[in-house]
Amino acid sequence: MVKKRDRRIGDIALQRIVRLFELAEADARTDRRNRSDRYVQLARLIGMRYRVRIPSQLKMRFCKGCYSYLIPGKNARVRLRGEYITTTCLKCGQQMRRPYKAPRSPSARRK
């Protein structure tokens, strides 16, 4: 059973992660990529420290190899393949793939 205090700490950590990604996007748009990459690193550290998952929408926004914030057209290449989307980091060359199809609905057994 998760204590009320632990849940509150997790909520605060998630809010900080979201805020750091907002700051990373703002700085990356103004060509301050070093600072935006640092924001992504801090968000990852907060997530690991408080065992909070980074939301899937935000998880697609950074490179899994060098942890830099990705902006398609500036430091990332996006290609549409047969069954998946390929995002290539232009800094380290790491390729990330994600499928087109929508995620499945939760199983009835997992409640």
Cβ–Cβ under 8 Å, residues 43 and 83: no
pLDDT in tens, 4-36: 778 899 999 999 999 999 999 999 888 888 899
Structural domain range at position 27: 4-99
Domain presence at residue 108: no
Domain presence at residue 86: yes
Supply the pLDDT for residue 2.
Answer: 60
Cβ–Cβ under 8 Å, residues 83 and 110: no
Domain presence at residue 76: yes
At residue 106's C-alpha, the angle toward residues 83 and 40, to 5°, is: 65
Domain presence at residue 68: yes
Cβ–Cβ under 8 Å, residues 58 and 25: no
Supply the pLDDT for residue 110.
Answer: 63
Domain presence at residue 95: yes
Domain presence at residue 107: no
How many domains are there within the chain?
1
Domain presence at residue 37: yes
Domain presence at residue 21: yes
Supply the pLDDT for residue 7.
Answer: 86
Measured in degrees and rounded to the nearest 5, phi and psi for residue 27 equal -75, -35
Supply the pLDDT for residue 17.
Answer: 97
Band of residue 105 on the pLDDT scale cut at 50, 70, 90: confident
pLDDT in tens, 37-94: 999 999 999 999 999 999 999 999 999 999 999 999 999 999 998 889 999 999 999 9
Q: Rounded to whole angstroms, how far apart are CA atoms 34 and 49?
A: 23
